[in-house]
Amino acid sequence: MKLAFSTLGVPGLPLPDVLRLASVHGYHGVELRAHPEEPVHPGLGPGERADVAAEFKAAGIELVGLAGYARVAAPGDDGPVIEEVRRLVDLAHDLGTPFVRVFPGADPEQSRESADAIAARRLGTAAEYAADMGVRILLETHDSHRAAGDSIRVLGLVGHRHVGSLWDVMHTWLAGEQPSESYAALSPYLGYVQVKDIASAEDTTPLPLGAGVLPLAECVEVLSRHAWDGWLCWEYERRWYEDVPPLPELLGAGREHLSRLLNESA
């Protein structure tokens, strides 16, 4: 498995500084938060996109994926949601990364059946475009569909190889699933895995890896047992918790913790 971190942990940091952090602390890749607040987002022009791709190549760091904010199960017209996903796919294609992240984002008042059908319809439509661009759309285990079992209801309806899953281990744990259950459900669809740590189900303030309650060792063990060789990406949510310690201070110890779990699982 290869190690990465998300720029959600270093909000607004210029890309050269992000890549420098990855190199210095021994990470193989970076997930970019694709939001207008950030240096890299779908509003970039062709020249700017080419510059971003060149910076990654020069640094020897891989761009794992783009973390977008399209909510594919949300109520409303399909058109704007599909267009948002397509813009993410275009950016991913231009930057040379294989994945874009989307959220479910269903409204609490929607029925489960309605939310699943809306998400599947939109993802199925976007999948054909993503296939032409050589990009996979990953539905994150999050919000209205935080359990793996929730995600695969949608993914099973879509049935397209360019739509898969991003496993956020916090959300499946909060949903009451064991890592072995989550992996068994998601493995046919799995793009990559987001790891993190928190104090408790009631307090999801981000902590250094290994300092909280999430079953990271069990997750890594399950992945290793099944010879999964994709990305482990640390998503440290400092954008939403500005009082927590800065991610750059934690990256070295975080990489060591994940490396130790990988060695132990092997």
Rounded CA separation 151/105 (Å): 12
pLDDT tens digit sequence for 81-114 = 999 999 999 999 999 999 999 999 999 999 999 9
pLDDT tens digit sequence for 51-82 = 999 999 999 999 999 999 999 999 999 999 99
How many C-beta neighbours within 10 Å does residue 74 have?
20
pLDDT tens digit sequence for 30-40 = 999 999 999 99
Return the sign of the alpha-carbon dihedral for residues 161, 130, 28, 195.
negative
Query: What pLDDT does 64 receive?
Result: 98
pLDDT tens digit sequence for 210-247 = 999 999 999 999 999 999 999 999 999 999 999 999 99
Query: What pLDDT does 143 receive?
Result: 97
Across 142-146, average pLDDT: 97
Res. 162: pLDDT tops 90:
yes
Query: What pLDDT does 56 receive?
Result: 98
Across 132-136, average pLDDT: 98
Tokens of 82: 């599909």
Query: What pLDDT does 51 receive?
Result: 98
For residues 237, 243, 248, 249, the Cα torsion angle rounded to the nearest 10 degrees is -130
Res. 146: pLDDT tops 90:
yes
Rounded CA separation 124/153 (Å): 13
The pLDDT-based confidence of 266 (bands split at 50, 70, 90) is: confident
Determine how β-strand 99-103 pairs with β-strand 136-140: parallel
Query: What pLDDT does 85 receive?
Result: 98
The pLDDT-based confidence of 171 (bands split at 50, 70, 90) is: very high
The phi, psi pair for 199, rounded to 5°, reads -75, -40
**Residue 213 contacts by C-beta under 8 Å, 6 or more apart in sequence?**
197, 198, 199, 200, 201
Instruction: Record the pTM.
Output: 0.97
Res. 265: pLDDT tops 90:
yes
Check if the beta carbon of residue 5 is closer than 8 Å to that of residue 27: yes
